Chains A and B, each alone.
Chain A
């Protein structure tokens, strides 16, 4: 039997596994923790699809346009068309497997989300990710029982095995026993965003260390748009992490203000700056815009240094029916009741638009290696719209699996198509020697330094000077004494800064004080980072031509 290895068991990994199983193709679903612990369970606000249930004449074309515009035209137009046309059917399918989306009079209710002109976000209170994961996990269990899907839920992936630009498997370590295994055959990477590089500063999961992305990079996979890191406008600091206040808060009517003092009268008022500056979308402008505006007003000498999210006016019905979990969470961690107190919020790192470079079929630059979900660079361009990530993870996992299945069915060479039935799925390589084990260590002090330089070089507003300083800092960290894992992480961190330095313009999440304008001529291109002969190379790659251009 053919078997494909899926690394990571969040929305993208589960979706890929189901697509394969429905075709009768087996897979190994390998993750460091069970799916219940994946970052996808944290997703709150909802998933976008032009279901057009709100009488607003929405269509996938409008969803396409908003996504392209939100991503400031850096996304692959053909891939985005694929996503936006498939989205309604995906939501219907999720509904059919039991995701309890909010409904009214027999139809799905959609909520407004940032950067979108129509209501398009299907949701279940503020736990959309959790309940979607539950339904998908139960579906996967059905195929697990039949043997098609094999779960390995406590395997830390160390690296894809890549020889001569072809992926031949995956090296992983059992976190329970320390035993290492080689999973032979093609690989779909679904290992999530690079939170580990910004440890303690992101809204996501600690399990998404970015180390698999780093390992893929040094083994030859190209990475794209690494500089595109999303700061979510409304996060709050809690010990050890950033707590997200979902965009649903603004979708349901939350307003941002800053205290402003009139220099003449000396009177202080609450300035709802987003509503004044952007009358059409107001508080629901795309995230990059909101985060920039927030950083700007807090620099303004007539304004206070804090922006507040005001939800005091929301109705009881909204609190109880739509935002109950969100309110409970804020009260629990911050001892503030959003129904009574404005919340002090600030931009925090939330999502990585960049990652492993893939084409429309989710193929990476390495043969027999695919990537999907947040670890991949696809669909979101320079800025992701709220609600587009979950749907893209489900869709991307599906597309990657379709393409991988096609490859497996075409070839007969067992090396390329996974294990034959009499072979063990995972070949044990025994425990690591103490010295190999030491090479997999990551010292917290080192990780902290990398994090500090990245954070200093890549805030909401960036400049050549600060990025160069940060890059120098990173380069100074290099010594031969670093472990393999530390070296890989450092290379990835440097690749991120080098990508950011190379893009001499402002676009989406990448805003530079020294190059404030967007420059389509030079930079409406994908930043591609490659590791060649021990050197990081940054280049710019053309965005695929829109196949439908001129047709409409």
Chain B
């Protein structure tokens, strides 16, 4: 039997409270996502004290760490619920919503800022991508970002209304910087410099947190080169 403590909140106006549930995994390979699904499947969910409880609100979609929906803070660490093996977690398992984003209810948060920031960056191609093979590895790696927000949760420099957009913007921008023809890069590069390059302390706390295992350090180094250093050098030379 595992104890699962959930930080609950009916909606953003109501106060938060901790509620404990007891859960018996049926299989050794179960994750936090399995537990949440099975708890919610019970005809009447009761907490540890035997009180009736409303179903726990959380987001999910793929259940195989490919969509980023289920990101939450598990025992203090931002993770995907469908990636968090129960057997590897200390009991009681404590589930909290990501703290950097406004709470909608229980474990569900409003991550609209992720998409807003990308719009702000002008994160799109303005001309056909450079199709050459050698761009493929970086373009592939940088296409894998889940927009889950785990990296932002851990980042000391990111805040929802701040100027620094974090790795969740760096990765999509990296794809575009790698594939854009040189002469098209100016606008995106300027935004990138302002919202990504200038705010990052490079402690790389985010690297180990990224559930997609994206090579953040490598992508960032190359994007910095493409958006900032190469342009500086180029300017100096001319």
Interface of A with B (CB < 8 Å)?
Answer: 33-34, 36-39, 41-42, 95-100, 102-104, 106, 124-125, 127, 130-131, 134-135, 138-139, 141-142, 144-145, 151, 153-154, 175-176, 200, 205-207, 238-241, 243, 329, 332-335, 443-445, 448
Measured CB to CB, the closest approach of chain B to A506, in angstroms, equals 33
Q: Which residues of chain B are within 8 angstroms of A104 by Cβ–Cβ distance?
A: 133
Measured CB to CB, the closest approach of chain B to A426, in angstroms, equals 16
Question: Could you give 26 example pairs across A and B, Cβ below 8 Å?
Answer: A37-B59, A37-B67, A42-B62, A42-B66, A42-B67, A97-B128, A99-B143, A100-B135, A100-B139, A102-B136, A131-B143, A138-B124, A138-B176, A139-B124, A141-B118, A142-B124, A144-B119, A153-B115, A205-B67, A206-B62, A239-B31, A239-B34, A240-B38, A332-B65, A444-B42, A444-B43
Measured CB to CB, the closest approach of chain B to A382, in angstroms, equals 27
Residue in chain B with minimal CB distance to A244: B64
* 1/0 contact string of B67-87 vs chain A (CB within 8 Å): 111000000000000010000
Q: Are B41 and A444 interface neighbours, CB within 8 A?
A: yes
Q: Which residues of chain B are within 8 angstroms of A99 by Cβ–Cβ distance?
A: 143
8 Å CB contact of B125 from A97, A125, A127: A97
* 1/0 contact string of B18-36 vs chain A (CB within 8 Å): 0000000011011101100
- Complex Cα distance A329/B144, Å? 14
Query: Among B68, B125, B126, which residue has the most Cβ atoms of chain A within 10 A?
Result: B125
Residue in chain B with minimal CB distance to A448: B41
Q: Which residues of chain B are within 8 angstroms of A176 by Cβ–Cβ distance?
A: 104, 110
Q: Are A96 and B62 interface neighbours, CB within 8 A?
A: no
* Number of residue pairs spanning A and B whose beta carbons lie under 8 angstroms apart: 139
Beyond the given A100-B139, A151-B115, could you list 20 further A-B residue pairs with CB under 8 A, ordered by the A residue number? A33-B69, A36-B146, A38-B61, A38-B67, A39-B62, A96-B128, A98-B179, A100-B143, A106-B132, A124-B143, A127-B140, A130-B144, A138-B125, A139-B124, A141-B123, A144-B119, A153-B115, A206-B62, A240-B34, A332-B83
Q: Which residues of chain A are within 8 angstroms of B147 by Cβ–Cβ distance?
A: 34, 36
Q: Are A130 and B143 interface neighbours, CB within 8 A?
A: yes
Say what secondary structure dominates the interface of chain A: mixed
Q: Are B128 and A42 interface neighbours, CB within 8 A?
A: no
Measured CB to CB, the closest approach of chain A to B141, in angstroms, equals 9
Q: Are A205 and B61 interface neighbours, CB within 8 A?
A: yes
Q: Do A241 and B67 form a contact, CB below 8 Å, given A98-B179, A175-B104?
A: no
- Complex Cα distance A135/B112, Å? 19
8 Å CB contact of B33 from A97, A98, A240, A243: A240
- Complex Cα distance A135/B172, Å? 10
8 Å CB contact of B143 from A134, A239, A243, A333: A134
Q: Do A138 and B123 form a contact, CB below 8 Å, given A34-B115, A100-B135, A153-B115?
A: yes
- Complex Cα distance A243/B82, Å? 13
